[in-house]
């Protein structure tokens, strides 16, 4: 005879999802410091004890919210999968990263604000090691592997490439509303085009002899 799971067991994933959603909204609207666990519990329609059952502290809950907004695992898996050059998949990776920022606008703005806030070193270290560090390290490893196969230049520091790729995406995310008022900026309303131009520039530079990435991609596909 099969025993049905209890109502409380069945509702556990739903409770966690409600807590994360409530925390994401409150953190984004008010900032980390101005949100209490009581407020999160009330917004999620659960008890404060239930929140602490799943998350040991407000910082742990905040880190979980930020990890969820980053959504990088699947993009990195696709970028690093075998078969075909990384350069063919890098434009899609960059586009997906920027799209996630734009779709989770409030949370990413909160992240940027927190990164600029003067907090204790442990808080910054936790953000680096438990939220951004693994994603950054995996991206660097994928780029380094492409260097070892001869696809990318070996003398370029892959961490520098990763930094430029992420940094340029963050700049677009933060500045697009201002950029759209510049008459020479035609890509402010085209994040996909921006990401692909960015990757083309990273792969080929500005030298007149450089071959556009789109042309190289078509050659590789033949």
Per-residue pLDDT of the chain (222 residues), as tens digits, is: 333 333 343 456 799 999 999 998 898 888 888 899 999 999 999 999 999 999 999 989 988 888 777 667 778 888 888 767 899 999 999 999 899 888 888 777 777 776 666 666 677 777 777 777 888 899 999 999 999 999 999 999 999 999 999 999 999 998 999 999 999 999 999 999 999 999 999 999 888 875 555 555 445 544
Q: Residues near 166 by Cβ (< 8 Å), separated by ≥ 6?
A: 97, 136
pLDDT of residue 82: 77
Measure the CA–CA gap between 157 and 218, rounded to whole angstroms: 27
Each domain of the chain, given as residue ranges in start order, spans 7-58, 71-221
Cα atoms in the Cβ-side hemisphere of radius 13 Å centred on 26: 22
Q: Residues near 61 by Cβ (< 8 Å), separated by ≥ 6?
A: 19, 20, 23, 37, 40, 51, 55
Any idea which architecture 71-221 has in CATH? Orthogonal Bundle (1.10)
Measure the CA–CA gap between 172 and 175, rounded to whole angstroms: 5
Nearest to 22 by CA among 45, 46, 44, 37: 44
Is residue 172 within 8 A of residue 191, CB to CB? The reply is yes
Is 7-58 in CATH node 3.40.50.300?
no
pLDDT of residue 4: 39
Nearest to 89 by CA among 102, 76, 101, 99: 76
Comparing 7-58 with 71-221, is the CATH topology the same? no
């Amino acid at each position: 005879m099969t025993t049905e799971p209890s109502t409380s067991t069945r509702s556990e994933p739903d409770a966690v999802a409600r807590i994360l959603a409530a925390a994401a909204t409150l953190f984004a609207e008010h900032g980390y410091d101005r949100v209490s666990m009581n407020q999160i519990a009330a917004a999620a329609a659960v008890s404060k004890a239930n929140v602490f059952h799943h998350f040991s502290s407000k910082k742990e809950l905040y880190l979980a919210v930020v990890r969820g907004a980053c959504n990088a695992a699947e993009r990195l898996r696709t970028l690093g999968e075998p078969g075909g050059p990384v350069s063919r998949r890098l434009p899609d990776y960059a586009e997906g990263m920027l799209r996630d920022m734009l779709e989770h606008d409030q949370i990413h703005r909160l992240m940027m604000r927190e990164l600029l806030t003067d907090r204790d070193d442990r808080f910054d270290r936790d953000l680096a090691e438990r939220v951004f560090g693994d994603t950054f390290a995996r991206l660097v490893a994928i780029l380094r592997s492409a260097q070892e196969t001869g696809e990318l230049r070996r003398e370029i520091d892959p961490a520098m490439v990763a930094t430029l790729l992420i940094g340029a995406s963050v700049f677009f995310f933060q500045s697009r509303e201002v950029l759209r008022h510049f008459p020479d900026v035609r890509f402010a309303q085209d994040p996909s085009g921006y990401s692909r131009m960015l990757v083309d520039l990273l792969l080929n530079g500005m030298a007149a002899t450089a071959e556009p990435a789109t042309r190289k991609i078509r050659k590789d596909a033949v």
